[in-house]
Each structure stands twice: as C-alpha cells, then as structure tokens.
Structure 1
Amino acid sequence: MPNVRLVAAPDLTGVVVLPVRPVAEPAEDGPAAELVEAGGALPAEVIAEATAFLAEAEATGTAGSTAILPRPARTPGKLIFVGVGDADEAGWRAAGAAVTRALGKGPAATVLLPAGATGDVVRGLAEGLHLGAYRFTVPAGFNEAGPEPADIALATGGDFAAELTTASVVAAATSLARDWTNAPSSVKSPEWLAGVMASAGDRPGLDGVGGRAEVTVRDEAWLTAEGFGGVLAVGGGSVNRPRLVEASWNPEGATTHVVLVGKGITFDTGGISIKPVAFMKLMRKDMGGAAAVIAAVHAAAALRLPVRVTALAPLAENMVSGSAFRPGDIVRHYGGLTSETTNSDAEGRLVLADAMAYAVDRLAPDQLIDLATLTGAAAVALGKTMAALFSPDDALATALADAAEAAGERTWRMPLADEYADGLHSDIADLYSAPPAVGTISAALFLREFAGDLRDRWAHLDMSPPSWSDSVDGVLAKGATGWGVRTLVRYLTTLA
C-alpha cells in the first residue's frame, strides 16, 4: 500500500493532484469541470492554466476520471486532475483509486484538499489510494514484503490522523482478504489458510497499530470430538483435512458481542455432484466469506473498537474421492440436527450450519451474522455488484445495508419467505440440505434453522456475486474484492 500522510504545507515542486467536480450549470462553450477550491495553495497563473486545460481536455469531473497536464521545467512539474463527482465519501474514494493508478510507480505526489475538507473526505480518499494500489503477486500475496510503496501527501490544515489510520487499517484488512481469496488452491489447503489467518496480525498495516486479535485453530480431531458433522462430511473427500479458525477481539468493558461466521471452502469441485469445468475454474474464491470475517476481526482489534467480536471460519476442501460424501447421505451437525444431502455441490451451508450452531451454543452472542459465497442464484437475481441480505430483524438489516452503502459495497434485502420452508423437510432427516427450487432463499431458510435462539437476531449475506471482479473497477482490482470487510468494520463501528 502507498505511504499516505498528512501535511500542512504542500510541496508544489513535483506532481500535484487537483480534485475537480462537474460544473453545476456549464455554459455552452465553457468547461464541464471545475477545480475544487484548494485553499489558495496554487499561484494564480497556474490556476488559470489549469482552468483552460480542463476545457481543452473536455474533463467531466465525474468520480474517478483523470486528466494529466505535464509542465516540464516548471513548478509544479505535472498536474493530475481527478474527478470527485458529488464530492461525497464515495466520490473521494473513487478519486483516490484513480490517483494511485495514474501515478503508477512514479514519483511522490501531493493532493491539494479543499480548505473545508471533512473526515469523510480524508477517509474516502485515503481508502481509495490504498485499495486502488492493490496487486496480487506471488510471493507478496503470501505474507511476504511487496514492492516499495509510493509516497502520497494529503495537503490539509485539519487534523485527520484518526481517519487516516482507520482508512489504512481497513484497506490493509481488505487487501488481506483479497490475498487469501486470490491465492491458488494448490497452496491454499485448510491447514495453510488457518495458519496465515492466525498470523495475520503481523501483516503491515495491522501490526503495531492498536490491539491484537486472539486466534485459535482447531484440527480434525477436535472437530470430530465436538460433532462438526457438516465440516467433516464436506472435507472428507480431500487429503487436506478440515480446520476451524476462531478469531476474537474482546476489549475490556465491551457490552455487545457479535459473532461472524464465514464460509471457507478452499476449493470446490462440487464433490460427487461435480461442477462443469467452466464453473470450477474460479473455485479458489469459495472461501471469500471466511476471509472477510477473519480479516474484519483483525481490523476491529487494530482499531481497538469497543465491541466484542468473534469470527468463525470453518475451512474444508470439497473434493471427489472414494471418501467423499454422497447425495443421499445423512449429516449430523453440531448440536444434533440432521440434514439429507441432496447435492454435494451445496456444501457451503453444511459447514456454516455447524459453525452457527456452535456459536449459539458456546459463544452466547447478541447478534449472529454469516457471510458466504453461497449460491449462483444470487447472481441471477442481483447481478455481479450486490450481495443478497436476509434477516428477520429490520433494525439489523437496515444497519448492515447502511454500513455497506457507506463502505462502497452494496446489498439488497431479500425475503425469508416462510411458504418455501416446507420444502426443507426430509422424510429421513430433519432437513433437506438443498431443495430444488428458490436456491438463494431456501439456502437462507436452511441456515436459519441453525441460528437457534438467535434466529431473530441473525443476518445472512450471500456475497457470491460481488466477491470477484472480472476487471479493474474503481477501488476493485481484477480478481478477489475482499467484499464484506469494509461493511463489517463500518457496522461494528456503529455498535461502538
């Protein structure tokens, strides 16, 4: 990530970044974009040249748009104009990502912020600067040092150190989740992933900032003794044995306890109900929910949020072999509920069910939230940019949706339609794992059965569609998005 810092006196000798916005009512022959007032830091002749350039370049000022004006042998030596759109936090976040990409591996730069810049402006810009710089590389993605970061100064008279720290921590945690999700499954066994999740507090951006999460890794013997039948069934076909990762942040005086559960399938062949090759290719991303919840707890600890939060990541590899579980098998989950397997490619809900039942029984949370790359049906319903949000709790659903919107991630609330619940009833078990119809809704209804006494304080986020980006888009790099980390940290902050 770049080195983003605050300065009171801007350096105008090198690269200077100037925020621009659309002109509210542009004249017929006038520019469509205008400079955002930057505290009078630039000489009048530079402002005049910049204004003329904006008209010639047909700059729009839309969020994330850029235009570059080289000025060799002059001061500043280069101007980068970046659009901030409506100049809200989202606009500044998009601007930050665009600036990072425009700079590339170039020299240090100074961003001239408006005199009235708020904390939201600084946080949004800094998050964008960090997230736009993300690249997954091997071995850098495996917790080793990456290239030397760029240096970007934010010129402002305000004291926004807290916002800068928050942006840095959240971006570091999001990048962490992206790294884990992007990592190839040839490396990413449940054991390996559990190990890097446990050591994530040592990652740059999270180490030495604030508190530190406590992480415990449970092995196959523990899972067997405790009755995690879903995790054991799904992981039974692989030579790479399953794990359960439990990460917790429990600050003194915390009065609210939130448990997060994330689906952690390190590779999904579909098992006996094998996937077509085209659908199997990207199944290294099927642990995106686990990556998000564990990274979010590390971020909460680094930020010292005054709320207790625990993340559970059941990790398994769903493979085809003589020991793989079969359609028609009966799985006994933690706590005793049984499910009849109707499709071994609907495996994520089986591992989530165990972890959710364990959370309710042993951790006594006030709220239970699960994240999972669960169903292709969610993409059919909502496309690639939204997660499906289910909760019987209106206040919880609204708070999560608001947090996602503020973070730049999107959700859409879906119904927990009880008329479909009858389809879950099996003749030989308590539940069918995957009834044939209404895929996303029936999956949520299945999970609700394992929320126990917390079913009215539970939320389910099916984030399969937005967990992966097919192209560079705003703060997203091509590949894993780390979806959910920013939403969860925002939500936990509201509880604080």
Structure 2
Amino acid sequence: MLTVRFRHRLRHETAARARLLTEAGAHADILAPAIGFRGHADEVAAGRDADGRLTVLAGMGAAATPTSARRAGGRAAAAAIAAKRLVLDARELTPDLAAEAAVGASLRAWRFEALKTRPDPDEPKRLAHLDVIVHDKRAAGAIWETLAPGVAGTLFARDLVAEPSNRLTPTLFAARLRALAEDGLKVEIHDAAWLKREGFGALLGVARGSANPPCLAVLRWKGTIDAPPVAFVGKGVTFDTGGVDIKPADRMWEMRADMAGAAAAAGAILALARRRSPAPAVAVLGLVENMIGAEAQRPSDVVRAVDGTTIEVIDTDAEGRLVLSDCLAWTRRAVRPAAMIDLATLTGSIVVALGHHRAGLFASDAALAAQLAAAGEAVDEKLWPMPLEEAYAEALRSDIADVKNCVAERFQPDACHAAAFLKRFAGDTPWAHLDIAGVELRHEADALGPEGASGFGVRLLDRLVSLRFEEEDG
C-alpha cells in the first residue's frame, strides 16, 4: 500500500509535486495562469518547472468538498504515476479534505502486479510514497487514520477480484481469508461436509458441476458494544460459466469477478478491524464455482435451502441468488444480526437499468436504505433505490416447489425478481441487497482507480457502520 505522510512543509526536492486548487486559488497561483489552468472540477494540468521537476495542478471547482478533494488527489496521482514519490500540496484545504485527497491518491495509485514476472518498459512506475503538505498535520493525520482502513479494505478486495480463477478457487479464497486473523478477526471456514449437514442445498446445488469444493467463510469482529452484530453477506462465485445454461463466450473472462460481493464484504470487515470499530460485525461468504460437468444441476431441478424452502431451478445461470438464499437464511438463524446487507454481482438486468455508474439498492427497511444511500454518496460509491414489491414475488411462484429462482420469459425485470427472491430468506431481519453488477469492474480509468477491479462496497459499508451501528442504542 502507498506510504502516506502528512508534513508542514515541502520536502523531497527530487519528487514530483502537485497542488490542489479551487477556482479562486488557481487564479491567484503563479503557475496556473501560465498554463491556462483555472481550477475547474476534475481539471488537471501537468508540466515541468525550471528544474525539470514534474509539477501537477489539480482542480476542485468553486469550493472544495470531500468528493472534489478525493478526485483531485486521485487525478494528481494519475498524472504523476511515472514518479515513485509525490508531494501533494494541500495547504489550501482543511485537515479533513486533505485526508480525503490522500484517499483519492491512494485508490488511484493501486495496480495489480502480482503476476508480472519482469518490468515492462512501457509501464509507468507505481507511486510508492505520498507526502501531503498541510497546515495542521496532527489533525489531518488523525482523520487519515480513520479513513486509511477503508482504503486498505478496498485494495484487499481489488486484489481478490483481480486474481484469475485458477488462483482463487473457493479453497484458495478461504486460505487468503485465514490470514485476516492477524488483524483480530475470528475466521471460520466450513467445508462441504459441514454445508451438507447444515442443509445448504441451494449452494451445494450450484457447486455440483465443479471439481473444486465449496465452502462457507465466516469472519467475525467482536467490537466493544454489547449488541447484535451487523452482517455483511457476500456472493463468492469464484467463476461462473452459467452452468448448463452456459453463458456466451463474449467477455466470459469477466466472470472471474463474480465473487466481488464476497471480496467487498471481506474488505469491509477488515476495515472495521483495522480501525478498531466498536460495532460488532460478521461477514458470511458463500464460496463456490458454477461449472459444467456430469453432476451439474439441471434446469427444472429442485433444491432445498437451509430454512427448508424448496426452490425450482429455472435457470442455472441464476446461481448467485441460490448461494445467497442459504447464506441469508443461515445468517438470520445462526447469527441473529441487527441487520443484514448482501452484496452480489447478481444480474445483467441491473446493468441495463443503471449502467456502470451506480449499484442497485433494494431494502426491506427504509431507514437502512436511506443510510446506505447517504453512505454511498459520501464515499463516491453511489446507489440507486429500486422497487421491491409483492408483484415481483408473485411472479416467482412455482408449480412444483415453494418458489422458482427466476422467471423464464425474456424482457423481465430480473434484478427486481432476484431481490424479491432474496427477501424471502431475510425474513423479518432488517435487510438490504446491493446488486453491484456493472460497478465491480472499471471499464476505463477514472479519478479513483485504474481500469479493472474497483473494490466497490468496502468504503460504503465502513461508512454505514460509522453512521448507524457505532453507538450503544444502534
């Protein structure tokens, strides 16, 4: 992770420099007029000073906000990505905004390099050190300490999502999670035999076509508050062929990211542990492959979920909701959480509705939905409320079982049907479902990250916990 330090004055004369400026500050700056820089939001300009040192100006618009500070920090880091060290001049900003600028720079500087065997001369160096110049380094540093765990959790999630599926089978995913015990999390990994004893028939049905066995990972953060935990439930399909209802080959390689919900849930509880959140929490991750094989489940099969519900499998490519149905039902029964939030790359339907800019938000609890939406706006992981009404549940009635996993006809609101299906297994526990299909990967670089894994959901959930669950009365 990028090393971040807050300082009172400029140092490291050989380092690249960047200044964050509002429109008013840009007009007063000596360098800005010379290069036509006006300080508009998302504006960035770079050049060399008389000593040949890279100098970057990043704009924040008429007035600095947390969002504009994050984006300016990220754009400055992107412009200086050829440098290993960057000095970020944030003296125009308050301590909280300076810390947010460091968040943006840290997120933008990430790249997945685990499988690079030799340096590529055309690849820029990875930014390794960031010095942030502020008036009050103690205040800015203290705020950074509350934000840095969310950054670390996001980068942990990105690393998982970027891994190819042969390096991240359910078993290998679980091994990565075991290491989180070093951060104070209690890590439990339950194997296929345990899943069978506990009645995870829906999840095991998805796993039938794969040579790699499934497992359930449970990560627990105790906190200090004597209250039921908040639960993050993640879909962890480490590769999704679609099963017998196989997907088209075009862009199937992206299905290595079908475990992004589980990665986000793990990253979020890691963030809570790193910042020693007082709120108790649990992350429940269903880890499984959806493959094709002689034992693979078929359309029309009926499976039985943890809570006894029988499910007619209409489409084997609607597997994520089967995994989550067991995970939600088990979490509700075994954990008795204060609330459950599930995250899943669940439907192409939500991408049609919202594109790559927002995730879909479905919720049974209005207050939880409002707080999730507010948390998303605050950290640039935006949600959009979607309908969840009885008509969608009615469409899932089965002739031979309690419920079917999707509607067979084309041109159906599958995201809404999937949410209605999941709501059944959440019961009366306050619950929200985040359909993050479309936002789990960046298809082009932006201010907060390069092309590839986004880690969407980690900082959102971290902010939600701080808003709702860190006081004794919940």
TM-score after normalising by structure 1: 0.88
Contact 2:234 2:324 in 1 (8 A): yes
* 1:161 maps to which of 120, 141, 147: 141
Contact 1:20–1:34, Cα closer than 8 Å, also in 2: no
Q: Pairwise mapping of residues 412-451 of structure 1 onto structure 2 (< 5 A)?
A: 412-436=384-408, 437-451=412-426
Q: Percent of pairs identical after alignment?
A: 35
1:462 aligned partner: 435
Task: Describe the superposition over 1:165-184 as per-residue Cα deviations: whole angstroms up to 9, x where unpaired.
Answer: 23322112111111111111
Amino acid at match of 1:163: I
Following TM superposition, by how much is the alpha carbon of 1:123 offset from its aligned partner in structure 2, in angstroms?
2.8
Q: Aligned runs of 1:280-359 on 2, under 5 Å?
A: 280-359=252-331
- Structure 2 counterpart of 1:137, from 113, 120, 133: 113
Per-residue deviation, 1:197 = 1.8
Residues of 2 paired with 1:190 and 1:265: CA distance?
8
Structural mapping, 1:92-491, within 5 Å:
92-106=69-83, 108-114=85-91, 117-119=94-96, 121-139=97-115, 150-158=128-136, 159=138, 160-200=140-180, 212-436=184-408, 437-454=412-429, 457-491=430-464
User: Which aligned segments of 4 or more residues in structure 1 are displaced greater than 4 angstroms?
Assistant: none
Q: C-alpha offsets along residues 68-90 of structure 1, whole Å, 9 cap, x if unaligned?
A: 2322349xx44321112341111
User: What is aligned with 1:71?
Assistant: 49
Post-superposition CA distance 1:312-368 (Å, at most 9, x none):
000110001110011000010002111000000000000100000001111010101
Native 8 Å contact 2:205 2:303 kept in 1: yes
**In 2, Cα distance between equivalents of 1:402 and 1:459:** 14
User: 2:11 matched to 1:6?
Assistant: no
Counterpart position of 1:208: none
Deviation at 1:116, TM superposition (A): 5.5
8 Å CA contact 2:225, 2:280 repeated in 1:
no
1:446 and 1:279 map into 2 onto residues whose CA distance is 27
Q: Are 2:355 and 2:438, in contact at CA under 8 Å, matched by a contact in 1?
A: yes
Question: Unaligned regions of 5+ residues in structure 1, if any?
Answer: 25-32, 36-46, 142-146, 203-210
Does the 8 Å CA contact 2:91/2:135 hold for their aligned counterparts?
no
- State the alpha-carbon separation in 2 of the partners of residues 405 and 139 from structure 1: 34
Q: Encode CA deviations 1:74-128: one digit per residue, 9 max, x unaligned.
A: 9xx4432111234111111111111222222425332222355131x02311111
State the alpha-carbon separation in 2 of the partners of residues 173 and 253 from structure 1: 22
Structure 2: distance between partners of 1:102 and 1:201:
37
Q: CA 1:140–1:367 in structure 2 vs 1: closer, same or farther (change >3 Å)?
A: farther
Instruction: Assess if the C-alpha contact under 8 Å between 2:109 and 2:126 holds in 1.
Output: no
Q: For the Cα contact (< 8 Å) 2:388–2:416, is it kept in 1?
A: yes
Equivalent residue letter for 2:67: A
Kept in 2, the 8 Å contact 1:64–1:97? The answer is: no
Distance 1:444 1:56, change over 3 A: same
Tell me the equivalent position of 1:19: 20
What letter corresponds to residue 71 of structure 1 in structure 2?
D
Amino acid at match of 2:89: L
Structure 1: distance between partners of 2:420 and 2:440: 22
SS in 1 for 2:165: coil
Q: 2:192·2:214 contact (CA, 8 Å) conserved in 1?
A: yes
Q: Aligned partners of 2:17 and 2:325: how far apart in 1?
A: 52
Deviations 1:399-455 (A, max 9, x none): 00000110111110011021222111111111011123320101000000101231x
Report the more deviating stretch, 62-71 or 187-196.
Answer: 62-71
1:132 counterpart letter in structure 2: R
Give the Å deviation of 1:132.
Answer: 0.6
**Deviation per CA, 1:4-45, whole angstroms, max 9, x where unpaired?**
101123328344322122359xxxxxxxx435xxxxxxxxxx
The CA distance in 2 between the partners of 1:126 and 1:476, in whole Å, is 13
Q: CA RMSD in A?
A: 2.0
Q: 1:107 to 1:461 in 2, by over 3 A?
A: closer
CA distance in 2, matches of 1:130, 1:473: 13
Amino acid at match of 1:451: A
Distance 2:306 2:84 in 1: 56
Aligned equivalents of 2:235 and 2:328: distance in 1? Answer: 11
Whether contact under 8 Å (1:189, 1:240) holds in the other structure is yes
Relative to structure 2, which stretch is displaced further, 147-156 or 253-262? Answer: 147-156
Q: In structure 2, do the counterparts of structure 1 residues 482 and 148 end up closer, same or farther at CA, with 3 Å as the change threshold? A: closer
Q: CA deviation at 1:148?
A: 7.8
CA distance in 2, matches of 1:12, 1:347: 53
Do the aligned residues in 2 keep the contact of 1:201 with 1:298 (CA within 8 Å)?
Answer: no
The Cα shift of 1:62 comes to 3.1
Asked whether the equivalents of residues 360 and 453 of structure 1 are also in contact (C-alpha less than 8 Å), the reply is: no
The CA deviation at 1:155 is: 1.4
- 1:272-328, Cα deviation, whole Å (9 max, x unpaired): 011110152210010000000011111101111110110000011000111001100
**1:14-93, aligned counterparts within 5 Å?**
14=14, 15-23=16-24, 33-34=26-27, 47-48=29-30, 50=31, 54-73=32-51, 77-85=53-61, 86-93=63-70
* CA shift in 2, pair 1:489/1:140, >3 Å: farther
**Gapped regions of structure 2 (runs ≥ 5):** 118-124
Instruction: Name the CA distance, whole Å, in 1 between partners of 2:81 and 2:426.
Output: 47
Structure 1 pair 12/59, CA: closer, same or farther in 2 (3 Å)?
same
Length, aligned pairs only: 455
Q: SS in structure 2 opposite 1:453?
A: coil
Letter in 1 for 2:75: A
Contact residue 46 and residue 56 of structure 2 kept, 8 A: yes
The Cα of 1:389 is off from its aligned counterpart by: 0.2
Tell whether the 8 Å contact from 1:113 to 1:156 is kept in structure 2 after alignment.
Answer: yes
Name the SS for the 1:278 alignment partner.
coil
